[in-house]
Structure 1
Amino acid sequence: MSDNSLGTPLPTEIDTTIAHEARVYDYWLGGKENYPADRALGDMIAEHVPTIKTMARANRAFLARAVRYLVADAGITQFLDIGTGIPTAGNTHEVAQSSDPNARVVYVDKDPIVLAHARALMDSTPQGRTRFIHADLHDPRSILDHPDLTGTLDLSEPVAIMLVAIMMYFSDDDHPQRIIAELLDALPSGSYVVITHPTADFAPEAMAGVKAAAESSGIGFHPRSKSDTGDLFAGTTLIDPGLVPVATWRPELTDRPVAVAEAESAWYWAGIGRKP
């Protein structure tokens, strides 16, 4: 077992016979850190959403664009990436440090599969720094009080919180807005929060099928409307272009143009909010 800063034990055992959301996502991205149970659930969801791999890749591409914007245009050099997932190409620190080698990144995930691959997240530039914290977003204080956070990031200076494809695992009963507010309250003016969130707004029946498939494998899944996703940005000001489909958020920040089919089939809302 591992524990967070409050001494609460977190699981470190990995069960490959049960589908795991991080490994399913890895499968959709074309990764190799997945097992038959993960691929079976990934294929089951693809029966409802044939473009699910496009959706996952569009979401990943947004992360890179968001980080480039935050470094180059907003002057952010500190990132708190929560719900990191299995490392793959274009991790937050790689994108940030390619623009500013001094960038610092703290990754957070509660899942033992991510802990097992955390070494891949530590490959920092000499000028910058990266750390991984094994902690649970349900308990924000376990993140905010962790010595590796306060030893890596200067919380008196602006920080960007990355919540990319993570809040859908929080039900309304988990009070996701309150969790995000607690994180933002610990950060100064000029900090940012980055959120992508799956939605049923574009295809209600298909997303209902995704929800049922995920929950049949023991994974809680909670798509949200544009309005409900917007509520997660409470206390911040959305930067242009606001809350938009994930593939259409500042596509000029990549060399690859966004195809119309991709924009219409990636059913995530995406946005960046700035704390006044």
Structure 2
Amino acid sequence: MIDVTRPSYARMYDYLIGGTDNYPSDRRACAELLDIAPDMQQLAQANRAFLVRAVRYLAQTHGVRRFLDFGTGLPTRPNVHEVAQEVTPTASVVYIDNDPMVCAHGRMVLEEDLLTTAVVEADIRDPERIFSVPRVRRILADDRPVAALFVSVLHCLTDDDDPWLLVRDVAARLPAGSYLVISHIASDDATSREELSAFMKRTIGSWGRVRSTADIARFFDGSDLLEHPAPVEVSTWLPDTGLALRPAGADWIACGGVARIR
């Protein structure tokens, strides 16, 4: 049974980007979060826009037709398959999340065409299980490049979970010439990192931490970043609007990039 009296990260994020699949507990937690980090709503919206741009870029510019979305979160239009299928109607997407509510909503909204979309309930820390699922194996079957999306999820993992090893493990299982899309809450101020991390752990229980931009760069070891030589604040990654969503002087950013795996 889903406990809606306790905030969840997925529902808080849903609220911040303007979704409706959230509850009073999530909205109260977001109000407290915005007291600590007033720019966090803009950060979440910039992060979502980055996901859309990155998927469209990979589909249009690099011909990617297969996507694995790790830590999907609640469905929000346009979803990954909608963006990819605007370019190629047969593009395939597998959404992966361990939140039962996310998966229940996902199966109602995301599995519009069972030939091209699927939702897998699994912990992203268990790639062995994920890559044994028939729908995932089917995406890999013809050895064409796949894009692995880790958008706004790796900060949910602790250092003990070793998210850097997780990304390397997933990358090693993908066909040659595959891609990574990563974004992560970051700050180069140690006090700010600790303050926000402590709030999230206290609020939702299980959470990782805000990391430095140098920490984010480590996720791209063994791959070549595209369009930018280093991870960037995501609203500056191939922006399609003149509006800079990150307020000047913000303590936290969504930092990330798109890379081709060597």
TM-score of the two chains, using structure 1 as the length reference: 0.88
Alignment length (residue pairs): 258
Structure 1, gaps ≥5 residues long: 1-12
- How far residue 72 of structure 1 moved from its aligned partner, in angstroms, is 0.8
Partner residue, 2:194 = 208
Q: How far apart, CA to CA, are the structure 2 residues paired with 1:155 and 1:57?
A: 35
- How far residue 260 of structure 1 moved from its aligned partner, in angstroms, is 6.5
Task: Decide whether the 8 Å contact of 2:43 with 2:245 is kept in 1.
Answer: no
Partner residue, 2:63 = 75
Structure 2, gaps ≥5 residues long: none
Q: Which runs of 4+ in 1 moved over 6 A?
A: none
Q: How far apart, CA to CA, are the structure 2 residues paired with 1:245 and 1:263?
A: 12
AA paired with 1:23?
R
Partner residue, 1:120 = 109
Partner residue, 1:258 = 243
- How far residue 38 of structure 1 moved from its aligned partner, in angstroms, is 0.9
The 5 Å alignment of 1:132-147 reads: 132-147=119-134
Partner residue, 1:7 = none
Q: How far apart, CA to CA, are the structure 2 residues paired with 1:274 and 1:86?
A: 27
Partner residue, 1:39 = 27
Task: Decide whether the 8 Å contact of 1:130 with 1:152 is kept in 2.
Answer: no
- How far residue 212 of structure 1 moved from its aligned partner, in angstroms, is 1.9
Task: Decide whether the 8 Å contact of 1:104 with 1:153 is kept in 2.
Answer: no
User: Equivalent of 2:182, from 187, 190, 195?
Assistant: 195
Task: Decide whether the 8 Å contact of 1:156 with 1:188 is kept in 2.
Answer: yes
The 5 Å alignment of 1:126-165 reads: 129-154=116-141, 156-165=143-152
- How far residue 209 of structure 1 moved from its aligned partner, in angstroms, is 2.7
Tell me: CA distance 1:260–1:67, structure 2 relative to 1, closer, same or farther (3 Å).
closer
TM-score of the two chains, using structure 2 as the length reference: 0.92
Q: How far apart, CA to CA, are the structure 2 residues paired with 1:38 and 1:260?
A: 23
Task: Decide whether the 8 Å contact of 2:186 with 2:213 is kept in 1.
Answer: yes
Name the SS for the 1:181 alignment partner: helix
Q: How far apart, CA to CA, are the structure 1 residues paired with 2:245 and 2:179?
A: 29
Q: How far apart, CA to CA, are the structure 1 residues paired with 2:31 and 2:192?
A: 14
Taking only aligned residues, the RMSD between alpha carbons, in angstroms, comes to 1.8
AA paired with 1:250?
L
Q: How far apart, CA to CA, are the structure 2 residues paired with 1:90 and 1:231?
A: 29
Identity of aligned residues (%): 38
1:23 aligns with 2:11: yes
- How far residue 257 of structure 1 moved from its aligned partner, in angstroms, is 2.1
Q: How far apart, CA to CA, are the structure 2 residues paired with 1:73 and 1:263?
A: 31
AA paired with 2:194?
A
Deviations 1:13-65 (A, max 9, x none): 31101110000001111111111211111111101111111111000000011
Name the SS for the 1:122 alignment partner: coil
